[in-house]
Amino acid sequence: MSTVSKRRTVPAGPARVWSVLADFGALAEWTTAVDHSCLLTELDRGPGTARRVQVGPQTLVEEVTVWVENEELSYSITGLPAFIGGITNTWTLSPLGSSTVVTLTTRIEARRRPVAHALAGVVVRVLARASDTMLDGLVDHLDTKGGTR
């Protein structure tokens, strides 16, 4: 397993940050890492909610596995190369005065082959850059848009 965590302090309380993350189908509205996103399920909150994410030519499906309002959002990601056994992103919100420390942790499970483990290391570095972009987009969205659409 490969893991990378990125963190930002956001000048907004957890409820305001959560309102952006919880609008699960609207990812493309606040990060430049994504070209398009939309819900795939009638369910729009909680475990089982799924969205389609378009990143260049790559189409991903992300399904919520953990949903703890104002605290944690975790989802599995499918649609990446076959040597990857599974990817999970987890957003964790921790209050800090009137701000929130937002941590985005990506976990990659590689298939049980040596080459898969080596390639997973490359993928985790690429996803770390994507995490930075997503966190920067979240901060910018909350600063400039007040967390609203």
Tens-place pLDDT, residues 74-125: 999 998 766 667 889 999 999 999 999 999 999 987 666 665 556 666 777 7
When pLDDT is averaged across residues 56-82 and rounded to a whole number, the result is 92
pTM of the model: 0.88
The torsion of the CA quartet 74, 78, 84, 89, rounded to 10 degrees, works out to -20
The full set of domain ranges for the chain reads 2-145
Say if strands 2-10 and 36-39 run parallel, antiparallel, or are unpaired.
unpaired
125-135 pLDDT, tens digit per residue, is 777 888 999 99
* Fold category of 2-145 in CATH: Alpha-D-Glucose-1,6-Bisphosphate; Chain A, domain 4 (3.30.530)
